[in-house]
Amino acid sequence: MTSKSITSYDVAKAANVSQSAVSRAFSPGAPIAQQTRARILKVASELGYQPNAIARSMSTARNDIRQKSGMVGVIVTRPEDPFFAHSIARFSRSLQAKGWQMLLFTVDDQTGVDDALNSLMQFKIDGVIILSAILSEHMADICRSHGIPVLLYNRSGGDFAVNSVQIENREGGRTAAKLLCEVDHKRIAFVGGEVDDATSRERKEGFIARLAEDGCELFLEEAGDFTFDSGREAGARLFSRTERPDAIFCASDVMALGVLHVARLQFDLHAPQDFSLIGFDDIPAAAWPGHELTTIRQPIRRMIQAAVDILVAQMSTSDVPPQTPRFPGTLIVRDTVRKAFRSN
Amino acid sequence: MTSKSITSYDVAKAANVSQSAVSRAFSPGAPIAQQTRARILKVASELGYQPNAIARSMSTARNDIRQKSGMVGVIVTRPEDPFFAHSIARFSRSLQAKGWQMLLFTVDDQTGVDDALNSLMQFKIDGVIILSAILSEHMADICRSHGIPVLLYNRSGGDFAVNSVQIENREGGRTAAKLLCEVDHKRIAFVGGEVDDATSRERKEGFIARLAEDGCELFLEEAGDFTFDSGREAGARLFSRTERPDAIFCASDVMALGVLHVARLQFDLHAPQDFSLIGFDDIPAAAWPGHELTTIRQPIRRMIQAAVDILVAQMSTSDVPPQTPRFPGTLIVRDTVRKAFRSN
DNA sequence: CTGAAAGCGCTAACAC
DNA sequence: GTGTTAGCGCTTTCAG
């Protein structure tokens, strides 16, 4: 058992060439005769030889050139959340398509990111994508000094220079506010994520700013944590008040569905008859039966395309300045916002 | 830029010890004095030294002992499916907790598994978990000969000896049939996955067998592909018939929700008034508003616990025989199956 | 175009 | 307990 695997030496012997010839046969632009390469490749496949990626990674660490592993680290906080599950799925396929392996690391919250990155760096990842979290400035420095590009997805890098790809949160908030004002809502509530969550805060800021332009103020506000249950709880608190909100904007679809749930089951309140509801993300379930949730869609496909392009570019060429594109969201009108104008 | 990173030699020099002392300081049970270790660890952290996992992996390939990388490959077909998204999330946390890294590979379907495994093996993964797919007997042989344990999640290994962890599909099907028979349904349909899907087939077999015990035959059958849309399509075909089914059992919750959707929107049919509906998995959305789907719950947490335990055991000790535990599903009664007995 | 040889950073004998 | 040394499998000069 645990038989040694076939190495380039075995192939070399069988093909009657040197070991370096075998190496060259497997290196795309290497100087080697077509014939030799063909013969080696044939022998190799007969023997079932596969180059050892780990060993390759070792030997590329020469001449002050950083060791390349062909692996990209992906750090994620809520992998079970539909939005992130979809994002991870797309990252995986997109990275693979370009020849990179994905090392997935799950952290419980923001505080685990630095440790995760340390673990990942021991494996000499060539780049890292962080979903919905940020790294410390200290870690950012370390990555920079090691030449490891970092990309923040769904978060911005704040002061220090790292790549980030995300949606126009403020504009998304404005879009929601505009729609709610158009149908003349007056008691408008916002359900966000944790109070220090940057994404949630930006959505809220845009929302409030646009409300103000119509002379409207935020009526109520609740904080959740982007889970369904937290949406239910926030909804329960909102609907338990003597004066209930007549419209709610949630920082995520999952929380909006939680609100919908508690409204229906615990208060017998329905959207859009009794209140209007807008979510954010446009997860598949938003379109499902009984939901028909009006929401702001994130262009996941394009965001991930951009993210991978940026990261790959920086992993290949150094000295590419950090990119921080922002993508516009799209209002998806379904059935949770009342249609007609009603004066009181 | 791309400055060379700190190696054990740098630490050795700074701590005035040999390089191997540094190595030992970072190897749990290695023979080294407490004092020396402490001093080395201190110097190391001051310098920001982190052992190079790739190099470690290289050097463990000695004496006919297979190279260990500390990485486990995970191959998945439908990462965006809620059931698998949750499974991946749990695998990730569970593997991490035991000190393993997860290399995630997404394949489009069954046919991609062997290639994925080949890619992963170049990275010298110590074990592999395959979600909802199987490997060829040929690849299974290769893995065995390389001493790489394989675990199939949500699939069984068929003839050849590999580990597998899955739910009692037949029993789950029987449970669904029993419930439907109890409330006296007569025109019972099944919506499965692709016709060659083993999981779906087993659920169907158990379902039909139990139906037969009550003198009932399967009325109709449709094949989907475990997606929401395929559920909608299957539902549309079912409800378009002149004689409609009065009960439907779906091989997954996602498809069941698709059926619910099309029934409601396109046919104005509601469960449980117009038909009964049972799903499989118990994804979070099954409990959501407007769904309240009766379903067979998979004990994800326990299954993944078992899967990781089995794999880790085999990665540490060789010659552990393959394990193939089956877990019972649990009937979760919600609101999509009619309650009372109604004679015709 | 091809072979020989020098490492990449680490672990594990092997001496002392 | 500690240092010395020989690789792990590969890429990449450097000669020829």
Q: CB distance B82–A82 less than 8 Å? A: yes
The answer, yes or no, to whether residue A64 has pLDDT greater than 90, is no
Q: CB distance A1–B318 less than 8 Å? A: yes
The distance (Å) linking the CA of A312 with the C1' of D10 is 24
Q: CB distance A122–B228 less than 8 Å? A: no
Q: Give the pLDDT mean for B207-213.
A: 97
Q: Which two tokens stand for residue A194?
A: 């944790």
Ranges A194-198, B162-166, B273-277: which has the least confidence: A194-198
| Residue B341 confidence (pLDDT) | 56
How many angstroms separate the CA of residue B209 from the nearest CA in chain A? 32
- CA–CA separation, A68 vs A312, rounded Å? 13
Q: Which two tokens stand for residue A38?
A: 């063909």
The distance (Å) linking the CA of B58 with the C1' of C1 is 30
Q: Which two tokens stand for residue B111?
A: 């046919």
Q: CB distance B257–A104 less than 8 Å? A: no
Kindly state the percentage of chain B with pLDDT values over 90. Answer: 88
How many angstroms separate the CA of residue A182 from the nearest CA in chain B? 27
Q: Give the pLDDT mean for A204-215.
A: 97
Q: Give the pLDDT mean for B35-57.
A: 95
Ranges A58-67, A186-195, B210-219, B307-316: which has the least confidence: A58-67
Count of positions (residues) in chain A: 344
Strand C: list positions under 7 Å from protein Cβ.
1-13
| Residue B344 confidence (pLDDT) | 44
Q: CB distance B101–A106 less than 8 Å? A: no
Nearest to B123 among A85, A101, A146 (CB): A101
Residues of chain A neighbouring B103 (CB-CB closer than 8 A): 71, 101-104
Q: Check whether the bond before A272 is cis (ω within 30° of 0).
A: yes
Please check whether residue A256 is in contact with residue A226, taking contact to mean a CB–CB distance below 8 angstroms: no
- CA–CA separation, A314 vs A311, rounded Å? 5
Nearest to A55 among B58, B103, B290 (CB): B58
| Residue A3 confidence (pLDDT) | 61
Residues of chain B neighbouring A105 (CB-CB closer than 8 A): 92, 96, 101-102
Q: CB distance B85–A103 less than 8 Å? A: no
Query: Which nucleotide has the least CA–C1' distance to B37?
Result: D1
Please check whether residue A326 is in contact with residue A168, taking contact to mean a CB–CB distance below 8 angstroms: yes
Nearest to B122 among A52, A80, A257 (CB): A52
| Residue B158 confidence (pLDDT) | 78
Q: Give the pLDDT mean for B300-317.
A: 96
- B295 pLDDT band, cuts 50/70/90, is very high
Nearest to A261 among B48, B123, B289 (CB): B289
User: B127-131 and B150-153: which strand pairing?
Assistant: parallel
User: Order of strands, edge to edge, in the sheet holding A150-153?
Assistant: A326-327, A163-167, A150-153, A127-131, A71-76, A101-106, B101-106, B71-76, B127-131, B150-153, B163-167, B326-327
| Residue A30 confidence (pLDDT) | 86
Contacts of A342 (CB under 8 A, 6+ apart): A183, A184
Nearest to B5 among A50, A101, A146 (CB): A146
- A197 pLDDT band, cuts 50/70/90, is very high
Q: Give the pLDDT mean for B231-253.
A: 97
Q: CB distance B79–A69 less than 8 Å? A: no
The distance (Å) linking the CA of B118 with the C1' of C3 is 30
CA distances from B103 to A92, A271, A276 (A): 10, 43, 43
Dihedral of CA B138/B144/B150/B155: which sign? Answer: positive
The answer, yes or no, to whether residue A1 has pLDDT greater than 70, is no
Q: CB distance A285–B290 less than 8 Å? A: no
> What backbone torsions phi and psi does residue B299 show, to the nearest 5 degrees?
-80, 70
| Residue B3 confidence (pLDDT) | 60
The DSSP bridge partners found for residue B152 are B130, B164
**pLDDT tens digits along A293-322:** 999 999 999 999 999 999 999 998 878 899
Q: Give the pLDDT mean for B7-25.
A: 95
The answer, yes or no, to whether residue B287 has pLDDT greater than 60, is yes
**pLDDT tens digits along A253-277:** 999 999 999 999 999 999 899 999 9
Please check whether residue A277 is in contact with residue A244, taking contact to mean a CB–CB distance below 8 angstroms: no
Q: Check whether the bond before A299 is cis (ω within 30° of 0).
A: no
Look over chain B and give the mean of its residue pLDDT values, rounded to a whole number: 94
- CA–CA separation, A327 vs A140, rounded Å? 24
Instruction: Identify protein residues whose C-beta is within 7 angstroms of any atom in strand C.
Output: A 16-21, 24, 31-33, 35-36, 58-59, 61-62, 67; B 4-5, 7-9, 19-20, 23, 26-27, 30, 51-52, 55-56, 58-60, 62-63
Query: Which nucleotide has the least CA–C1' distance to B58?
Result: D8
Helix or strand holding residue B7 (H, E): none
The answer, yes or no, to whether residue A342 has pLDDT greater than 80, is no
**pLDDT tens digits along B95-137:** 999 999 999 999 999 999 999 999 999 999 999 999 999 999 9
Ranges A29-33, A163-167, B168-172: which has the least confidence: A29-33
The answer, yes or no, to whether residue A344 has pLDDT greater than 50, is no
| Residue A343 confidence (pLDDT) | 46
Q: Give the pLDDT mean for B275-297.
A: 94
**Residue B112 burial (CB < 10 Å; 0-12/13-18/19+)?**
middle
Strand D: list positions under 7 Å from protein Cβ.
1-13
In chain A, DSSP assigns E strands to: 71-76, 101-106, 127-131, 150-153, 163-167, 188-192, 220-223, 247-250, 276-281, 294-297, 326-327, 330-332
Residues of chain A neighbouring B120 (CB-CB closer than 8 A): 101
| Residue B289 confidence (pLDDT) | 77
The answer, yes or no, to whether residue B2 has pLDDT greater than 50, is no
The answer, yes or no, to whether residue A239 has pLDDT greater than 70, is yes
Q: Give the pLDDT mean for A32-44.
A: 95
Contacts of A331 (CB under 8 A, 6+ apart): A175, A176, A179, A294, A295, A296, A297
> What backbone torsions phi and psi does residue B48 show, to the nearest 5 degrees?
75, 30
Dihedral of CA A306/A308/A312/A318: which sign? Answer: positive
- B1 pLDDT band, cuts 50/70/90, is very low
The structural domains of chain B, ordered by start, are 3-51 (1.10.260.40), 71-167+300-327 (3.40.50.2300), 169-298 (3.40.50.2300)
DSSP A338: -
- CA–CA separation, A169 vs A204, rounded Å? 8
What count of CB pairs under 8 Å joins A to B?
175
Q: Which residue of B has its CA nearest to A73?
A: B103
The DSSP bridge partners found for residue B188 are B218, B247
The answer, yes or no, to whether residue A86 has pLDDT greater than 80, is yes
Q: CB distance A106–B123 less than 8 Å? A: no
The distance (Å) linking the CA of B67 with the C1' of C8 is 17
Q: Mutation test of the interface with chain A: which of B80, B108, B314, B317, choosing the one with the most A Cβ atoms within 10 A?
A: B80
Q: Which of B256, B176, B264, B198 is nearest to B222 (CA)?
A: B256
The answer, yes or no, to whether residue B343 has pLDDT greater than 50, is no
